[in-house]
Amino acid sequence: MKPKRIILIRHGESAANVDRYLFGQIPDYTIELTDRGKEQARQAGRRLRDLVEDESLYFYVSPFWRTRSTFENIVSEIPRSQFKYSEEPRLREQEWGYLRCNEDFDNICRERREYGAFYYRIPGGESGTDVYDRVNDLLGSMYRDFKKDDYPENCVLVTHSLTIRLFLMRYYHLTVEEFEQMLSPENCELVIMSLQEDGKYKLDYEIRTTNTPLRYSRPITLP
């Protein structure tokens, strides 16, 4: 049966959130949490525990080290008998290709802002559309899991900011323009989707947006 809630959690503060040039120095998947990020995750665990009380949980966890560490610190606040989990590679961060120097990173960030994060393909890496496709595939797998009679009462995804925004875009059928103007959740913020009587999930989270005009925008207009 469908869980009562789907909860999306961005990882805690990582070393690359403090020094973004780490992306060009070590493999992205090895970037770890800061001490502050670990404490953010423990706080998220306490908030999650207060929210679900004694209800069961199932965690899908991105295999990157910062999301593994976030998960470990979250569940340090939750009884072991209360949750199950699995690693889910489709929740991983967008692939950033091979960054040879800081200038490469700066150029990619600039081009991505100008072109739009949804369509821009990072050289040697992924576009937002690639991540959208694997999020779409994951959502299908989740709904097959939901059909199990013993599926836990809450579903939690421990993942990355872009993945969360694309998950919301896919589930709520947001436009490309709406996605482009969506701001990232804060580190370890709980993005909660609550099951309604009609079987759909209501977003109990206020999407924050930027007021910066898009360079390219062409919404559908009907006569």
Catalytic residues: 11, 93
Rounded Cα distance between 49 and 19, Å, is 31
Rounded Cα distance between 17 and 207, Å, is 21
Contact between 93 and 160 under an 8 Å Cβ cutoff? The reply is yes
Rounded Cα distance between 57 and 190, Å, is 14
Q: Which residues contact 185 (CB under 8 A, 6 or more apart)?
A: 8, 10, 161, 164, 191, 205
Q: Which residues contact 65 (CB under 8 A, 6 or more apart)?
A: 29, 30, 31, 32
